[in-house]
Structure 1
Amino acid sequence: MPKFETLSADTHSNIAIDESKLATTYSKFHLLNIEIKEAVQAASEFPLFFSKSPDAKYWTISALCGLAPQENVFETQGTWLGHYAPLSLRTLPFVTRIDGESQQQEILVDVESPAISTQGEPLFLASKRPTAYLDTKKKLLEERVNAMQQTAVMLNQLSEMGLIHAVDLIIEYKDNTNQRVGGLATVNEQRLQALNGEELASLNQKGLLNVLFNMLGSIFQVNRVIRLQNTKFPGRAVNNIKFETSKS
């Protein structure tokens, strides 16, 4: 289980980050957050879906990386099989949050992460100033925060335009059992085809039209997930995955 502490030179000056161990952390994420700015690139690797944030207040984009919680088929024996790692992974083992009292943004570090070590990239110099490595991580965290805000605004617009369509995944296993997985959504193709010229131009100007088409095309990456699933978990081998309009 992650254990986050507010990053401090006084508390964490003796720890380092072993980047080679981060892929082990990735193995626990069956859904990865993807931001709008990286969706086109991520679509070449993963099947992309819309999903609601944990508090259900806004939409996010998620890469489907596994068929069960805490299973990521793109990680095996500490190796990341993807050619691309999204911002949500590259910022680990750090996250940011807004302090409830000061409303200031603070950086947290997961001290239970497998990447925490006495060897690797130190976080602070003897003077207690951040190392170049930590400065790079801070910039990535800032980039991700800005990207998350941009994503939330743009996906809200897509939702208001009726372009988000809830679906269920029907997983057909080789032992002839089925499993229905909900909580995901994809592009509403019927609504997309019905957009008028002004709406299409607006989406294109914001770069959203390209994102929508790439998300639709990314569905074929489900075949890659099936292949990786059958290699990593042969006891739960999959024949096929279908999509149905959500019944909930």
Structure 2
Amino acid sequence: MANRVQLNNIDHAALEVNRGWGAELGDAVMACPVFPSEFRQVQSSYPIVLSRIGEEPFYRPFALFGLQQGENLFLDEEGWDALYVPLYMRMQPFLIGLPQGGTDQMEVHIDLDHPRVTRDGGERVFLEQGGQTPFLSEIAGLLGDVHEAEQQVAPFSDMLEEMGLIEPFTLDVELRSGETGRLAGYSTIAEERLTALSAEELGRLQGRGYLQPLFMMVASMNQLGSLVARKDRAA
């Protein structure tokens, strides 16, 4: 469980963050949440699929990095091997905090138990005199982008469900080594239903700004073959 606290320049004056990539830094994950606003960049490297998290009543989009839990096929000796790294991965170990009382004022929180957090050998969060480093200013801007993007996830999912555009899928995998496996538990866009949408329905999607992200999701499924090829090379 995360050791989550609000960041401040007194308790965390000497805090540093490792900005590299690696399994030892918490990056060995099969998937991470992504947002409709970044689908154009995400689809250039990863399949975008849908799944529910816990008690959330809507589907959440995910970028797939691997075909089994704890596997990130984009990590190598040089770092992260892809044109784009999703916002959710770049914000680690920072988190968005919203104060109680109904205000929308965002706070910067941090998970002190995250493997990126250090006091030796990382990038400083605060200047010696207590001000923000350019790194922290960058993170604050990134968290603001994530906070804004998060507001579109549930409405986007709701409209996809309303129009019957979500369907489960499975992927049977056979590697050159003879190893076999199955990717299951995720959903994707129902392409037959998509091609049957009326002009009015397409107009509704376009009016909400969802049409482009929807087609980016469809295009991203071509990356499943690339993911299997990475798995083959790693086997």
Q: What's the TM-score bracket when you normalise by the shorter of the two chains?
A: 0.7 to 0.9
Aligned match of 1:4: 4
Asked whether the 8 Å contact 2:31–2:64 carries over to 1, the reply is yes
Aligned match of 1:110: 111
How far does residue 42 in structure 1 lie from its aligned partner after superposition? 0.9
**Higher mean Cα deviation, 189-198 or 170-179?**
170-179
Aligned match of 1:63: 63
How far does residue 211 in structure 1 lie from its aligned partner after superposition? 1.9
**Higher mean Cα deviation, 16-25 or 145-154?**
16-25
CA distance in 2 between partners of 1:175 and 1:23 (Å): 24
Of 124, 127, 140, 1:125 maps to 127
Aligned match of 1:237: none
Q: How does 1:152-171 map to 2 (within 5 A)?
A: 152-171=154-173
Distance 1:177 1:23, change over 3 A: closer
Distance 1:82 1:190, change over 3 A: same
How far does residue 182 in structure 1 lie from its aligned partner after superposition? 2.6
Aligned match of 1:87: 87
How far does residue 201 in structure 1 lie from its aligned partner after superposition? 1.7
CA distance in 1 between partners of 2:70 and 2:2 (Å): 13
Could you report, residue by residue, the CA deviation over 1:151-192 in whole angstroms, capped at 9, with x for unpaired residues? 221221111111111112323345656433332111111221
CA distance in 2 between partners of 1:210 and 1:126 (Å): 45
Q: How does 1:1-248 map to 2 (within 5 A)?
A: 3-21=3-21, 24-25=24-25, 27-77=27-77, 79-98=79-98, 102=101, 105-117=106-118, 118-174=120-176, 176=178, 178-232=180-234, 234=235
Number of residues paired by the alignment? 232
Could you report, residue by residue, the CA deviation over 1:212-235 in whole angstroms, capped at 9, with x for unpaired residues? 222112111111111211222x1x
How far does residue 150 in structure 1 lie from its aligned partner after superposition? 1.2
**Higher mean Cα deviation, 132-141 or 103-112?**
103-112
Give the AA of the match of 2:227.
V
**What's the % identity of the aligned pairs?**
28
Distance 1:102 1:206, change over 3 A: closer
Higher helix share: 1
Asked whether the 8 Å contact 2:16–2:121 carries over to 1, the reply is yes
How far does residue 128 in structure 1 lie from its aligned partner after superposition? 2.6
For the residue of structure 2 that corresponds to 1:10, the secondary structure is coil
Asked whether the 8 Å contact 2:44–2:83 carries over to 1, the reply is no
CA distance in 2 between partners of 1:183 and 1:202 (Å): 29
Could you report, residue by residue, the CA deviation over 1:24-53 in whole angstroms, capped at 9, with x for unpaired residues? 536322112110011122111111111113
Structure 1 gaps of 5+ residues are: 235-248
Give the AA of the match of 1:161.
M
Asked whether the 8 Å contact 2:26–2:114 carries over to 1, the reply is no
Distance 1:119 1:103, change over 3 A: farther
Distance 1:52 1:78, change over 3 A: farther
Q: TM-score, normalised by structure 2?
A: 0.86
For the residue of structure 2 that corresponds to 1:171, the secondary structure is strand
CA distance in 2 between partners of 1:21 and 1:76 (Å): 9
Asked whether the 8 Å contact 1:49–1:185 carries over to 2, the reply is yes
Could you report, residue by residue, the CA deviation over 1:115-167 in whole angstroms, capped at 9, with x for unpaired residues? 33323421122343322321220111111011011122122111111111111
